[in-house]
Structure 1
Amino acid sequence: MPPNIPKDPLSGHLGHLSPEQQHILGKFRTELQDEGIFDQERHDDATLLRFLRARKFDLAKSKAMFASCEQWRKEFGVDEVVKTFDFPEKEAVDKIYPQYYHKTDKDGRPVYIERLGKLDLKKLYAVTTPERLLKRFVLEYEKFLTERLPACSEVVGHPVETSCTIMDLQNVGLTQFYQVKDYIAQATRIGQDRYPECMGKFYIINAPWVFSTVWMVIKPWLDEVTVNKISILGYNYKNELLLQIPAENLLADLGGLCQCPEGCSLSDAGPWNEENKGLIAETEPDKTVA
């Protein structure tokens, strides 16, 4: 490509495929159908492209990743989790280990927030189990793909395919991290290997001085593309977050203006929630962001 022509940032996405990428997509779909691991309802072209992008359009590697994911879905019982899993301990867990979606960023992405500072493993496992936490994690990923992203896409008028994540490490010490690192490792592998190409922005805030040690443990779990999407902001994060998230959508205790009456972590505010249809970021109408 000539140096004066910028690379398309959406290369590999629907509407932005080169002839070669379009050919590989068609071949990928055909081979999956021939091998009996293609589901017409779940495996649209956008889904197939997530696996192709994750493996840089290497057909063999993409097929191996896809087949492994389908086998994992059967073993984990993903369809059954979606149909029947309930999490009545949600409010109790929220007081100890808050993990939730809350409104959107300026590109229309759902904002996901995880806060490790309140974590007390003994209290957490008194109200739930690691297995139930993982099932909830998977259920939220499924809802992210089937409910949150379509609702965000409808509001902004273009496909929204990724999330904006904030991981708050305020008051987190090495003891807390090592207590929960096995769960985080499992969750990271599921997100990266089973739901590829879903991360758009990832901010780690309030990272303490010991985070360099934690990062040495976490980094090998991640592929290079994922690592390049992570911004480690420390304690001076407010201005950076407000560049990406409107103040009215960002929690007040993270430097924004939002104070949901019932508490932001339990409000599920966003365009995917019928009660909160209007709570969506103002996006540039002519901007297309994956």
Structure 2
Amino acid sequence: MEISSEHLINEFQKMIDDSQFDGPLKITFEAMHQGYPRENLCRFLKARDDNIAKAHTMLLDCLNWRIQNEIDDIMAKPIVPEHVYRAVRDSQLVGMSGYSKEGLPVLAVGVGLSTYDKASIHYYVQSHIQMNEYRDRVILPAATKKYNRHINTCVKILDMTGLKLSALNQIKILTVISTIDDLNYPEKTDTYYVVNAPYIFSACWKVVRPLLQERTRKRIQVLQGCGRDELLKIMDYASLPHFCRREGSGSSRHLWTEKDDNCFSLDNSFHQQLYNFVKKQGEPKERVAPVKQGSFHVDFPEPVLGDAKIAETIKSEFQKLGDQNGLLNGLGNLEINGH
């Protein structure tokens, strides 16, 4: 991440000091920056194109959101009962496969095969925020220690395997998650790599693209096939997600097999460690009172485009492709919802 000038950071810090940045705001800011306050000020400056006033407003909005929704305590609020947690994990495919050569954690997202249909939207939002917080509180500090330099961003690989027209039913929840990240976890992802994109991806992208912030769109790179050859330029083979090991024009000595680690699996070390971390964080409160059943509700913004506009855009894009490919069969049954 490019570092904003010292002058801008100093001015930003002065604005915070002048606004009596104390009490709950100070506490939650300390929880968020994890010992690197200036680097976090830099993130918000960059997210607002070095406009100090806008960065200050964005930071205050973020901190108030964290206070109002008790984000500092969300790691002590496990998704229970366990079968609901398993259902969320099986339908919201996320994992960690390793580190880039620069030490950035490599996070994988199974966009095409995630269904988001096993629980309410609140469970998926809770799950996503918990993974964000685990990344910021555990994964990134561990990477900083391992590579002996401050690491505050990650790389995300978006797997489009299995992407179908019906995936657009999840457009609302995907937009909510993206917006939460844009507003409250800015500048946390260095690059998004799209791999295994089927032919319908271009139409889906035209629907999703207007819902993303411009700075997010600029970081998205669509790679050919599983992207193995391109990704091996920035990471070792061992850090490739399992879905990036299947093909490529390079050496064939590494063949993908079913025995390779599936980073989406609950048996993967990332998910085991995350689950145990949340469980341990919740133990003190469990001794005082039982964990409340049900999802942990977090305020989230409505999508920029309304459901009707999204549906109209989807239909328009697929009309351009659908006649010759048979994609319009069943289009009339497509529903836009947030589950």
- TM normalised by structure 1 equals 0.78
CA contact (8 A) 2:8 2:52 kept: no
Alpha-carbon shift at residue 137 of structure 1 (Å): 0.5
Which residue identity does 1:243 align to in structure 2? K
The residue number in structure 2 matching 1:268 is 269
Cα distance in 2, alignment partners of residues 198 and 247 from structure 1: 23
- TM normalised by structure 2 equals 0.67
2:17 to 30, 34, 41: 30
Query: What SS does the aligned partner of 2:97 have?
Result: strand
CA contact (8 A) 2:155 2:189 kept: yes
2:178 to 181, 188, 201: 188
Report the CA distance shift for 1:269/1:30 in structure 2 as closer, same or farther (over 3 A).
same
The residue number in structure 2 matching 1:214 is 204
1:160 to 151, 159, 169: 151
CA contact (8 A) 2:242 2:261 kept: no
2:3 to 11, 34, 56: 11
Report the CA distance shift for 1:28/1:206 in structure 2 as closer, same or farther (over 3 A).
farther
1:107 corresponds to 2:95? no
The residue number in structure 2 matching 1:171 is 162
| Structure 2 counterparts to residues 1-290 of structure 1, below 5 A | 10-12=2-4, 17-18=5-6, 20-34=7-21, 37-39=25-27, 41-42=30-31, 43=33, 44-86=37-79, 88=82, 89-121=84-116, 124-125=117-118, 128-176=119-167, 178-235=168-225, 237-255=227-245, 263-265=262-264, 266=266, 267-269=268-270
Identity %: 22
Cα distance in 2, alignment partners of residues 112 and 236 from structure 1: 15
User: Structure 2 regions of 5+ residues with no counterpart?
Assistant: 247-253, 275-339
Alpha-carbon shift at residue 269 of structure 1 (Å): 4.7
The residue number in structure 2 matching 1:276 is none
Cα distance in 1, alignment partners of residues 21 and 89 from structure 2: 45
Report the CA distance shift for 1:22/1:186 in structure 2 as closer, same or farther (over 3 A).
closer
Alpha-carbon shift at residue 59 of structure 1 (Å): 1.5
User: Structure 1 regions of 5+ residues with no counterpart?
Assistant: 1-8, 274-290
Report the CA distance shift for 1:145/1:32 in structure 2 as closer, same or farther (over 3 A).
farther
Aligned Cα root-mean-square deviation (Å): 2.8
Cα distance in 1, alignment partners of residues 237 and 162 from structure 2: 24
Cα distance in 2, alignment partners of residues 103 and 28 from structure 1: 38
CA contact (8 A) 1:113 1:165 kept: yes
Cα deviation digits, residues 104-153 of structure 1 (max 9, x gap): 111111111111333345xx32xx32101100111111111111101001
The residue number in structure 2 matching 1:284 is none
CA contact (8 A) 2:12 2:56 kept: no
Query: What SS does the aligned partner of 1:142 have?
Result: helix
Larger Cα Rg: Structure 1 or Structure 2?
2
Query: What SS does the aligned partner of 1:103 have?
Result: strand
Which residue identity does 2:230 align to in structure 1? E
CA contact (8 A) 1:29 1:48 kept: no
Cα distance in 2, alignment partners of residues 169 and 221 from structure 1: 18
Cα distance in 2, alignment partners of residues 94 and 30 from structure 1: 42
Cα distance in 2, alignment partners of residues 74 and 26 from structure 1: 21
Cα distance in 1, alignment partners of residues 8 and 49 from structure 2: 10
CA contact (8 A) 2:108 2:156 kept: yes
User: Once structures 1 and 2 are overlaid, which stretch shifts more, 201-210 or 157-166?
Assistant: 201-210
Which residue identity does 2:26 align to in structure 1? F
Cα distance in 2, alignment partners of residues 138 and 255 from structure 1: 29
Cα distance in 1, alignment partners of residues 126 and 101 from structure 2: 30
Cα deviation digits, residues 68-110 of structure 1 (max 9, x gap): 1122223333133222233634444444331122221111111
The number of residues matched between the two structures is 255
